[in-house]
Amino acid sequence: MVDSPAGFPFQGHGEKPGVDRFTLSEIPCIADSVALESEHVWYSVTWIIRPRIAMERGSASKLTQRTPASSPIQLTGPSGSPTISRRSGLDAAMSNLHPDQYETGQDDTGQDDTGQDEAGPRNAHPKPQGTCFMSLTSDVRAMLPDLDGYAYFQTSGFSPKLNPVVDEVVHWLKFQSRGPALPFVSRRIEELKQDIRGRVAATVNATPEEIVMTENTTIGINIVANGIDWKPGDNVLLTNHEHPGNRLTWYNLTGRYDVELRFAPMYNDLGRTLEEMDRLIDGRTRLVSVSHVSRRTGLRLPGRAVCDLAHGKDTPVLFDGAQSFGAIPIDVRALDCDFYSFCGHKYTMAPQGTGGLFIRRDRIDWLKPSWIGSHSQKTFDQEGNMDLHDEARRFEFATRSVPDQAGFGKALDIWEGLGWEAIFAGIESYTDRMKAALLEVPGLVLETPASYGDSSGIVTFHVPGLEAGPLSESLEQHEKVLVSPLEFAAESTRVSTHVFNSDEDLERLTTGIRRIQREGLDA
Ligand SMILES: Cc1ncc(COP(=O)(O)O)c(C=O)c1O
């Protein structure tokens, strides 16, 4: 049985075989990842309770949030004595119990007793198999398919999807398919959409009113690019590391308006990069549109410094967050950016076709919608009049895939449940180990800065004389290691890391590179 303070949603739930009583009077601290140590309690409290508390308080699944150390929930063991231990981030283990198991009207067989007009949370996920505290890596891996035996270093391209995320998509697809126009279905789907918007907003410390739900990063960039009232002679500043999504959009624009594109060179010495930006921004720069994290080397721009620089010249800033969202903390308020576009399908391991765009409140009216349609409006008439929503959702229109968005929301819940700080620390620690292991390969050159603070979960390297395309093919065929050759540099290979990557994956990568060095590509 679980006792909880009045008002918490899990009161009355939580009876599990072998679990004795514990009392909730202190929120588990994310930083220290509180876990219960009791032979009777074999699941992680954080996983089950924390997301519920965050939701109940209507707050804060922010990537940046730190629960105060003096948190008000205390866990006591069977004897009534405290059994909390504080373990550092990665050591804290999480079970793969589905948090919703403790709140639904479903029993352990997965039967739904919530009534046919509800698509509530579900109970479709495996219980822990008796291991007390698994590592973060094996916990996340337990939610993944077997990856066909691959060492998967392609999260920066497309991540594999967590099983509970896939289940969530299927669940909502089935629910909606009962009849999208059925009143209880459409009502529930609408609630779900707004709920997900709230979760996405909290993840970057925005308000729901400032979030456009999109299908990918590039749509967000296009909304901004095509929403500015361009004047001949204006210019926009990018960097030389941008993805086609933050490049072709602008190439297209310069073909339509007399707008100049400027490119700031990215240096591992970020101070130098900022100097170049400062030099290139002038009175006609209407926007700085740059990747927060470079997809090429993982270089992490000092976001706040970029905004301060640009704002000092009255220029708004759009961050392309495709490689940062879910990999590093993002707080749009602390960054003080005007726009932030991101996708779900990389580091948050959400379905393809999910994403969001943050538009700061005061920029919503500043941006002119180029595309709108049904659902953008508050009112309209047959004579050509319309009144758009005040919120950023005015840029959303027509029919969208809500089941995919539900998968996005579920992915955020899972990371929130595991603890964002543990995830960020896990990516950092693994990336550091990756860099160290690669640097032991004779002749290998690391292109990514050695300091994690200047980079992220991307490690780019080259081995002089070895072409990246054949190298990656050989690694794939011999070691079943998936990496990505970069198209703009013949020898550069990108490895992207996540908490599900294991030490064995890393070992296979370096073994493969050494094999190629020793025996050649054709061996
Ligand atoms: C930095 C960057 N921007 C944009 C994109 C395009 O992302 P999306 O498919 O979400 O538009 C990518 C994809 O790899 C990327 O790395």
The full DSSP string for 177-200 is HT-TTSHHHHHHHHHHHHHHHHHH
Tokens of 359: 């538009």
Phi first, then psi: what are they for 495, rounded to 5°? -115, 130
Nearest atom (ligand 1) to Cα of 355? 10
Question: What CA–CA distance (Å, rounded) separates 120 from 142?
Answer: 24
**320 ligand 1 Cβ < 6 A:** yes
Contacts with 45 (C-beta within 8 Å, 6 or more apart), sequence order: 22, 28, 34, 35, 36, 75
**84 ligand 1 Cβ < 6 A:** no
Nearest atom (ligand 1) to Cα of 215? 10
In one-letter notation, the amino acid at residue 445 is V
Nearest atom (ligand 1) to Cα of 294? 1
Question: What CA–CA distance (Å, rounded) separates 357 from 227?
Answer: 13
Question: What CA–CA distance (Å, rounded) separates 417 from 48?
Answer: 7
Tokens of 195: 């709920």
User: Measuring from atom 7 of ligand 1, which residue has the nearest CA?
Assistant: 217
- Virtual CA dihedral for 181, 187, 192, 193, nearest 10 degrees? 70
Strand order in the sheet with 493-496: 445-446, 458-462, 493-496, 484-485
CA of 217 to the centre of ligand 1 (A): 6
**239 ligand 1 Cβ < 6 A:** no
**217 ligand 1 Cβ < 6 A:** yes
pLDDT in tens, the chain (523 residues): 333 333 333 322 333 333 333 333 333 332 233 333 332 232 333 333 333 333 333 333 445 433 333 332 222 222 333 222 223 222 322 332 333 332 332 333 333 333 343 454 443 333 333 332 348 999 999 999 889 999 999 999 999 999 999 999 999 999 999 999 999 999 999 999 999 999 999 999 999 999 999 999 999 999 999 999 999 999 999 999 999 999 999 999 998 999 999 999 999 999 999 999 999 999 999 999 999 999 999 999 999 999 999 999 999 999 999 999 999 999 999 999 999 999 999 999 999 999 999 999 999 999 999 999 999 999 999 999 999 999 999 999 999 999 999 999 999 999 999 999 999 999 999 999 999 999 999 999 999 999 999 999 999 999 999 999 999 999 999 999 999 999 878 999 999 999 999 999 999 999 999 999 999 987 6
CA of 245 to the centre of ligand 1 (A): 6
CA of 399 to the centre of ligand 1 (A): 23
Beta-bridge partner residues of 387: 379
Environment class of 311 (CB within 10 Å of its CB; exposed 0-12, middle 13-18, buried 19+): middle
Beta-bridge partner residues of 359: 339
Beta pairing, strands 493-496 & 317-320: unpaired
CA of 369 to the centre of ligand 1 (A): 22
User: Measuring from atom 4 of ligand 1, which residue has the nearest CA?
Assistant: 245
**291 ligand 1 Cβ < 6 A:** yes
Could you give the count of Cα atoms lying within 13 Å of 305 in the half-sphere of its Cβ? 12
CA of 129 to the centre of ligand 1 (A): 38
Question: What CA–CA distance (Å, rounded) separates 123 from 340?
Answer: 34
Yes or no: say if 464 and 489 are a contact pair by the CB < 8 Å rule: no
Residue 163 CB neighbours (<10 A): 16
Contacts with 353 (C-beta within 8 Å, 6 or more apart), sequence order: 215, 216, 345, 401, 404
**243 ligand 1 Cβ < 6 A:** yes
CA of 244 to the centre of ligand 1 (A): 8
**159 ligand 1 Cβ < 6 A:** no
Query: Where along the chain do the CATH 3.90.1150.10 domains lie?
Result: 420-519
Which residue, among 404, 352, 350, has the nearest Cα to 169 in the 3D structure?
404
**216 ligand 1 Cβ < 6 A:** yes
Tokens of 222: 């296009």
Query: Where along the chain do the CATH 3.40.640.10 domains lie?
Result: 187-414
CATH superfamily of 420-519: Aspartate Aminotransferase, domain 1 (3.90.1150.10)
CA of 154 to the centre of ligand 1 (A): 13
Domain range 187-414, CATH architecture:
3-Layer(aba) Sandwich (3.40)
Question: What CA–CA distance (Å, rounded) separates 343 from 320?
Answer: 9
Beta pairing, strands 235-239 & 355-359: unpaired
Question: What CA–CA distance (Å, rounded) separates 456 from 436?
Answer: 15
> What letter would DSSP give residue 479?
I
**246 ligand 1 Cβ < 6 A:** yes
